[in-house]
């Protein structure tokens, strides 16, 4: 008779591993108060506050305020999850030896990355539902129809790739505390001055330069899609460029321990 | 598992210097050595975290770096510390690791055996050191590996938990699992290991079963501690008095370690020598050689965890 611990080694099927990893990461993110604040509470506050402020101080756009601000806030949500949350979480995973632990498990690195991507997309769906519902209550009328929605999804995925690769490059090189500080600082700078929530036209002369930032590109792409159902080709190119730069940096400099 | 002439260095520091050792299947092997001796580097090379800079390492017949994907499902690794999200619950973490394996052990059984029941819903960061260690061991064995690497398995555990861990390691061996452990507790190595390898400065300084290492030459150990520091030539003069069958080592200015035949005549010579030198013995103890003595003799320093 074989004993309790008789060896029976083997790896679980790859997709089961990825599902398990993604569900674990999503649960941990949603359980973490600060992460939830970043993912849902801040974008909703920015949306509600922005619409109210636009009415109050007479900020005028070439469309209704809620229609201009909602795509921007969705872009902000994508950025907060795929850059800030991912960088902070990964930084601490490195610090607590979790990446090392998983590195000694049957989960391959591609499975770990895929798990993270699936978890990010899952959280982003949740963010879109919450922000979208809030916007609809505020009177949002998305333009662009189905085409616009599809273009926006592609833009959001491209933005996720760009920001996630940059976030991983950051988390894989700095110490966990430095990553925490840098990821929050960059988020704050891009939120206020990065052309993500407000269209670049509101930044005056700096608007042209802002075009090169991934934040403004993601905001532009989602605004063009959700206002007019249009594809902002240059914004897509900028996002693609950042995704390539970020991936190259992460692949070159990411340290697992 | 076979390590042959392994060399590893970090910058100017040589961590492992021509180390060779073999581990037989189905045995428990303890790797002993002071901090910085190269134990962890050696284990990490076997686990495929680092590629050997010189020499070769084969684990279960595989190259740990090049055939890592094949090797990983077959081995279990217990890290010295950490290895979990700070907010994850203990049982949740164990279930996650289990889900990455094809035929994991039933998690509730393992939770019960490892005594993790009462802290199963506690976040990792609030577990005690001993609980984190037990969870670490559980994660290492949940995938039903053929070979387990455990780094300091009972560090920070209370006596009862240490006993449970020893029982489980013994049961793993009975069920055919090979175990390689590093430890700071010589008692642990003496009690569990079939084979002990003592490493110092990255090389193997002694190897054998605990029995072979401690008793083979029918030798005993006498520790002599005196009230005032010894005169400068003391060890040499005592060594001359006792003859070539005996080895004298100075541990510190007030204590000597004498290894040799355990008989009354040796003791008599030691006390006569004390009288002649005018030193006052504070303690003179005779005992079977322990691994601690072997360690002391091989490395020339006290074993300090």
pLDDT reading at A1 higher than 50 = no
| pLDDT, mean of residues A47-66 | 84
pLDDT reading at B95 higher than 90 = yes
pLDDT at residue B293, rounded to an integer: 74
In the three-class reduction of DSSP (H, G, I as helix; E, B as strand; rest coil), residue A12 is classed as coil
| pLDDT, mean of residues A104-132 | 94
* Selected residues 105-124 of chain B with any CB under 8 Å from a CB in chain A: 105, 109
Residue-averaged pLDDT of chain A: 93
Inter-chain CB proximity B85 and A107 less than 8 Å: no
Å from B82 to nearest chain A CA? 5
Inter-chain CB proximity A7 and B87 less than 8 Å: no
Confirm or reject contact between B70 and chain A (CB < 8 A): no
pLDDT reading at B302 higher than 70 = no
User: Tens digit of pLDDT for each residue in B120-153?
Assistant: 999 999 999 999 999 999 999 999 999 999 988 8
Structure tokens at A19: 């599902």
Number of H helices, E strands in chain A: 12, 0
pLDDT at residue B92, rounded to an integer: 96
Å from B100 to nearest chain A CA? 5
* Selected residues 27-56 of chain B with any CB under 8 Å from a CB in chain A: 47, 49
Note whether A15 and A109 are within 8 A (CB). no
pLDDT reading at B304 higher than 80 = no
User: Tens digit of pLDDT for each residue in A203-248?
Assistant: 888 888 899 999 999 999 999 999 999 999 999 999 999 999 999 9
Band (A170; pLDDT cuts 50, 70, 90): very high
Inter-chain CB proximity A12 and B109 less than 8 Å: no
Alpha helices in chain B (DSSP H): 39-46, 68-71, 90-99, 107-113, 129-141, 159-174, 186-192, 210-215, 234-242, 264-277, 291-299
Note whether A80 and A126 are within 8 A (CB). no
Number of H helices, E strands in chain B: 11, 13
Residue-averaged pLDDT of chain B: 88
Nearest Cβ partner for A11 among B102, B172, B174: B102
Inter-chain CB proximity B143 and A105 less than 8 Å: yes
Å from A103 to nearest chain B CA? 8
Least confident of A117-126, B68-77, B199-208, B242-251: B242-251
CA A106, CA A12: separation in Å to the nearest integer?
A: 8
pTM above 0.90, yes or no: no
pLDDT at residue B301, rounded to an integer: 65
| pLDDT, mean of residues A72-95 | 95
Pairing mode, strands B13-22 and B28-32: unpaired
Confirm or reject contact between A30 and chain B (CB < 8 A): no
Å from A93 to nearest chain B CA? 6
Nearest Cβ partner for B146 among A9, A32, A96: A9
Listed residue (B83, B169, B168) closest to B132, CA to CA: B83
Inter-chain CB proximity A7 and B72 less than 8 Å: no
ipTM (interface predicted TM): 0.88
Interface test with A, best of B41, B44, B85 (most A CBs within 10 A): B85
Confirm or reject contact between A14 and chain B (CB < 8 A): no
Inter-chain CB proximity A24 and B83 less than 8 Å: no
| pLDDT, mean of residues A169-182 | 94
Compute how many other C-beta atoms are within 10 angstroms of the C-beta atom of residue A87.
Answer: 28
| pLDDT, mean of residues B66-76 | 94
> DSSP characters for B229-294?
PPPTTHHHHHHHHH-TT-EEEEEETTEEEEEEE-SHHHHHHHHHHHHHHT--EEEEEEEE--HHHH
Compute how many other C-beta atoms are within 10 angstroms of the C-beta atom of residue A168.
Answer: 25
Nearest Cβ partner for B100 among A31, A92, A105: A105
User: Tens digit of pLDDT for each residue in A110-123?
Assistant: 999 999 999 999 99
E strand or H helix at A165: helix A145-171
Higher-confidence residue: B138 or B154? B138
């Amino acid at each position: 008779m074989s004993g309790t611990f008789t060896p029976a080694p083997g790896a679980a099927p790859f997709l089961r591993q990825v599902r398990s990893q993604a569900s674990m990461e999503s649960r941990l993110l949603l359980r973490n108060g600060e992460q939830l604040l970043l993912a849902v509470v801040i974008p909703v506050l920015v949306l509600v506050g922005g619409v109210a402020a636009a009415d109050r101080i007479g900020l005028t756009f070439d469309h209704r305020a809620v229609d201009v601000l909602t795509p921007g806030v969705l872009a902000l949500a994508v950025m907060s999850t795929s850059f800030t949350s991912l960088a902070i979480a990964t930084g601490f995973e490195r610090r607590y030896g979790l990446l090392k632990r998983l590195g000694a498990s049957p989960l391959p690195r591609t499975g770990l990355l895929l798990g993270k991507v699936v978890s990010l997309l899952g959280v982003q769906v949740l963010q879109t539902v919450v922000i979208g519902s809030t916007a609809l209550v505020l009177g949002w009328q998305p333009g662009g129809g189905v085409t616009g929605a599809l273009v926006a999804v592609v833009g959001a995925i491209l933005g996720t790739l760009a920001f996630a690769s940059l976030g991983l490059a950051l988390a894989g090189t700095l110490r966990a505390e430095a990553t925490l500080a840098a990821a929050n600082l960059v988020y704050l700078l891009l939120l206020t001055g990065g052309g993500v929530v407000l269209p670049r036209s509101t930044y005056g002369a700096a608007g042209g330069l802002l075009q090169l930032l991934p934040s403004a590109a993601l905001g532009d792409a989602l605004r063009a899609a959700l206002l007019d159902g249009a594809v902002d080709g240059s914004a897509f190119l900028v996002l693609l460029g950042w995704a390539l730069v970020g991936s190259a940096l992460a692949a070159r400099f990411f340290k697992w321990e | 598992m076979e390590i042959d002439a392994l060399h590893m260095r970090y910058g100017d520091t040589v961590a492992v210097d021509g180390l060779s050792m073999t581990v037989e299947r189905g045995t428990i092997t303890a790797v002993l050595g002071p901090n910085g001796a190269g134990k962890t580097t050696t284990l990490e090379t076997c686990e495929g975290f680092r590629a050997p800079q010189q020499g070769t390492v084969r684990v279960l017949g595989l190259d740990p770096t090049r055939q890592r994907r094949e090797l990983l499902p077959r081995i279990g690794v217990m890290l010295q510390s950490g290895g979990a999200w700070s907010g994850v619950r203990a049982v949740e973490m164990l279930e996650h690791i289990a889900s990455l394996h094809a035929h994991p052990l039933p998690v509730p059984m393992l939770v019960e055996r490892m005594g993790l029941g009462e802290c199963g819903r506690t976040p990792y960061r609030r577990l005690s050191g001993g609980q984190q260690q037990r969870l670490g061991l559980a994660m290492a064995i949940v995938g039903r590996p053929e070979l387990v690497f455990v780094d300091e398995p009972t560090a920070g555990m209370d006596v009862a938990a240490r006993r449970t861990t020893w029982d489980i390691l013994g049961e793993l061996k009975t069920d055919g699992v090979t175990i390689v452990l590093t430890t700071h507790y010589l008692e642990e190595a003496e009690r569990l290991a079939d084979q002990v390898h003592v490493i110092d400065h990255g090389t193997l300084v002694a190897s054998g079963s605990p029995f072979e290492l401690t008793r083979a030459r029918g030798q005993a150990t006498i520790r002599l501690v005196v009230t005032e520091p010894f005169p400068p030539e003391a060890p040499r003069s005592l060594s001359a008095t006792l003859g070539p069958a005996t080895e004298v080592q100075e541990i510190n200015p007030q204590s000597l370690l004498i290894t040799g035949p355990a008989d009354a005549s040796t003791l008599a010579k030691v006390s006569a020598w004390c009288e002649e030198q005018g030193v006052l013995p504070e303690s003179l103890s005779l005992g079977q050689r322990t691994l601690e003595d072997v360690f002391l003799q091989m490395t020339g320093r006290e074993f300090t965890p």
